[in-house]
Amino acid sequence: MQKPETLEDLKKRGQQLASTDQPLAAWNGQQSTKDERFHVIFDGRIYFNTEWVDSGQCPGDVNDNGVNPWQFERDATKQELARLGNPTSRIALREHAHALKH
């Protein structure tokens, strides 16, 4: 089985990125159609979705490839982490989603 190409591999080959490739961002529960491809930072690593992804599917759960579409791409650089953030748990996502408290 051939390893899927990463965004970095595609750039090195000079290939144009598909219009469905989203820019690198911190994971915040992105969900997509099958045509959208996210590149997200989670716990110091960069992941991309191989197919449709639901907001409840966490990149850190990649050990269960049968149900999780996130695939490890590479380690994030210090610059990427400083610029975009580094979520490390689902708890942070839930707190962020409910930031307004009365």
Return the H-helix or E-strand segment holding 80.
Answer: helix 78-84
The model's pTM:
0.69
Q: How do residues 46-78 score in pLDDT, each as one tens digit? A: 999 988 888 888 897 766 666 788 999 999 999
- pLDDT tens, residue by residue, 6-42: 556 655 544 455 567 889 999 999 988 768 899 999 9
* Domain-located, residue 2: no
Domain count, the chain: 1
Nearest to 24 by CA among 49, 55, 4: 49
The whole domain housing 79 covers 7-97
**CA quadruple 18, 8, 69, 84: dihedral, nearest 10:** -100
* Domain assignment of residue 40, yes or no: yes
- Whether 51 maps to a domain, the answer reads yes
Among 7, 43, 41, 48, which Cα is nearest to 27's? 41
Q: For residue 102, tell me if it sits in a domain.
A: no
Instruction: Dihedral sign for Cα 19, 38, 57, 4, please.
Output: positive
